[in-house]
Amino acid sequence: MFKHILIATDGSAASEHAAQLAVGLARTHGAKLTAVYVVDPYPYIGLGEVNPMGFQAYMASAQQAAAAAHAKVEALCKQGGTPVALQVRLVEDVAAASGVVQTAVTEGADLIVMGSHGRTGIARLMLGSVATKVVAESSVPVLVAR
């Protein structure tokens, strides 16, 4: 049924749970798996030109976080049974939801799997929800794990 599954990961417990589901689905369907980590745009607009060291530190930290998140998914792909083919993507300088949706389209994924922190009420209104935005923007089916 699924040939290419995209897992959105940020290294959180919610995304690790989603990764377990995505790896299981990929293994069951013989699908390939793409793990995407989206780096939010540098938050200090204008300061990058004044202090390029801040931008470089931000990007270095983001790349380390992405590598750690991707390593967790890769470990799941190697555990138990048949190994799952994994490719990793790092998307920079776009909002998280847009980066996930764009990558799904670019990579030809037929399912997006992602975690949700399950915030409700005022916390959801104040913080927003990447999962909600992905569901709203995506033409590809989205499985949200809580």
> Residue 61 corresponds to which amino acid?
S
pLDDT of residue 1: 86
Give the residue among 113, 144, 116 at the shortest CA–CA distance from 129.
116
* Number of domains composing the chain: 1
Query: Do residues 115 and 145 make contact, with C-beta atoms less than 8 angstroms apart?
Result: yes
- pLDDT in the model for residue 45: 66
| Weakly modelled stretches of the chain, pLDDT under 70 | 45-51, 118-128
Q: What is the pLDDT of residue 126?
A: 43
Coil, strand or helix: which one is 114?
Answer: strand
Going across the sheet that includes 111-115, the strands are: 86-92, 32-39, 4-8, 111-115, 142-145
Determine the 3-state secondary structure of 142 from DSSP: strand
- End-to-end CA distance of the chain, in Å? 23
pLDDT of residue 127: 45
Integer Cα distance of 138 and 105 in angstroms: 9
Q: Can you give the CATH number for the domain in which 106 is found?
A: 3.40.50.620
Rounded CA separation 96/129 (Å): 10
Dump pLDDT digits (tens) for 58-69: 889 999 999 999
Query: Which structural domain, as residue segments, surrounds residue 98?
Result: 4-145
